[in-house]
Amino acid sequence: MNTDRVFSLIRPFLKKVKHFFTGLSEISVFAIWTAVIVLTAALIWGFSTGLRDDLTVRTVNEFLDSIGENRNIEQVISPWHIPGSVTQLGTWYTMTSSENAVISPLIMEGIFSPCLAIIDDEGRLSTLVPLTVNGDRGLARINPGYLRIWIDRIEKNAVILKRIQDGRN
């Protein structure tokens, strides 16, 4: 068999393999660069949790003071030992009174509006405070069935959270 003929058949294949590995190295550099950016963002997000929680508490308490509410939120309830269904609804906080509160998103007419729901000791919603400018108008026009479902979910999760807190004490 003629070796020149064999090499002439293999040469285009080897060029394609070389081109493949050259392209693969460029793709791998891009993938590593993207992974480093995502990892850096995740680390910053994770390590800034305490700062974000403190800023949220301070901002919400200033808002509550401005509307004449005498209760304030104190600190976030750590989601690490709480079942997932409770923490999926929003961020739970303790209050200066014996109540708990949750900051939860409420979509009103396509507008995202975070609301502070203050839960009494029995696990019932005592006060609903919209935390955005147009929240009051949105609450007046929201579908009552949707609002009732949202409140029911908060109250069910408040009962679970209360049992967990009572079990720890």
Determine contact, residues 154/125, Cβ cutoff 8 Å.
Answer: yes
Asked if 79 and 58 sit in the same domain, the reply is: yes
Cα–Cα distance for residue pair 71/96, rounded to 1 Å = 6
Asked if 85 and 162 sit in the same domain, the reply is: yes
Asked if 99 and 116 sit in the same domain, the reply is: yes
pTM for this model (two decimals): 0.72
The domain in which residue 132 lies consists of 52-168
Asked if 2 and 38 sit in the same domain, the reply is: yes
Asked if 13 and 60 sit in the same domain, the reply is: no
Give the closest residue to 125 by CA, choosing from 100, 107, 93, 91. Answer: 100
> Total structural domains in the chain?
2
Q: What is the pLDDT of residues 121-167, one digit of tens each?
A: 888 999 899 888 777 777 888 888 988 998 998 898 888 888 877 77
Q: What is the pLDDT of residues 21-63, one digit of tens each?
A: 777 777 788 889 999 999 999 999 999 988 998 999 999 999 9
Looking at residues 88-102, what average pLDDT do you find?
Answer: 85
